[in-house]
Amino acid sequence: MRRREFITLVGGAAATWPLVARAQQMRRIGIVIALSEGDPELKKWLEAFREGLERLGWSESRNVHFDYRFAPAGSRAEQLAKELLALEPDVILAFSTPVAAAFQRETHTVPVVFLGIADAITQGFVRSLAHPEANLTGLTMYEASVSSKYLSMLKEIQPQLTHAAFLVNPATAPYYAVYLQGAKDAAPSLGVEVGLVPIKDDATDIEHAIARFAHTSPKAGLVVVGDSTTNSHRDLIISLTAKYRLPAVYWNTFFVTAGGLMSYAVDWVNEFGKVAYYVDRILRGAKPADLPVQAATKFVTALNVKTAKALGLTVPAGLLVAADQVIE
């Protein structure tokens, strides 16, 4: 081979090396969220996740590709899990219990980082928080003790409250028993009886369930816990609590911005930013089994004063001062 031909060959190969390197660096992240694609809050959450990855060196335009799927109320979670796994992702981000459970059934090898679930041990996602021991890890949101906070907020804004019920779909929130037991433990000290209003992922069923509760339980209030079904039907639930003049405390601030009374909630923008750490570690070779599950650390209280007035409630000064977000 002549010297000129050799130089041309080497030069041509060198020109392709950066392209090959970039192709090899491209990693694939599958994301399944138990909300509709057009949910107004979801955009902020996913942006926080992408920004978190950017700070850790992962850019969609450079070395990472996102595959998004949306499963309102956990619908089609099984099908979407299979669909994404067929794309051979490096890691999965699973938001909500039904979604995480679907991936747990479908794969024992692909790393899954969960978010938006309650009590990861009780639900069987991990054997312990410190040592997950399988291919799932992530952030667990709430523990039973949060129920006492929900009840105390209801009692504070409605001192005559005698009954409180947890509005939940057992099919999409199998962990509801954890919350319910926490509430029953706290109820005697507050002088409140605690019960359950089970619903299905059906608007008519939800309307009938809330109407029955309102008619049979005087001086009552609702606790709307984290559930992909209640998320999907949030506008209906808010309108029904207004119709039947039921004070309600919600698990997420987006209920309050949409007209709900009050919430005690995880700061979801913060949590989606934090979960980027797990994805980064896994993309760099860590195993989920070696990444301890973390509990949420940042909570916010939101209060809709306009809704309180419409319900005929006087907002106590202490609750108003404690609120991180007040909607007039």
Specify the pTM. 0.83
Domains of the chain in sequence order: 24-141+267-297 (3.40.50.2300), 146-266+300-327 (3.40.50.2300)
Mean confidence (pLDDT) of the chain: 89
Q: List, in sequence order, every beta strand (DSSP E) within 280-322.
A: 294-295, 299-304
Tokens of 67: 């595959």
Phi and psi at 162, nearest 5°, equal -120, -20
Q: Is 80 exceeded by the pLDDT of residue 19? A: no
pLDDT in tens, 211-235: 999 998 889 999 998 888 998 899 9
Q: Please tell me the least confidently modeled range out of 4-18, 60-74, 167-181, 241-255.
A: 4-18
Buried-state track 245-284, b at ≥16 Cβ within 10 A, e below 16: ebbbbbbbbbbbebbbbbbbbbbbbbbbbbbbbbbbbbbe
Rounded CA-CA distance 101/172 in Å is 10
Phi-psi region of 285 (alpha: psi -120 to 50; beta: other; left: phi over 0): left
Rounded CA-CA distance 61/54 in Å is 10
pLDDT in tens, 148-199: 999 999 999 999 999 999 999 998 888 888 889 889 999 999 999 999 999 9
pLDDT in tens, 262-312: 999 999 999 999 999 999 999 999 999 999 999 888 899 999 999 999 999
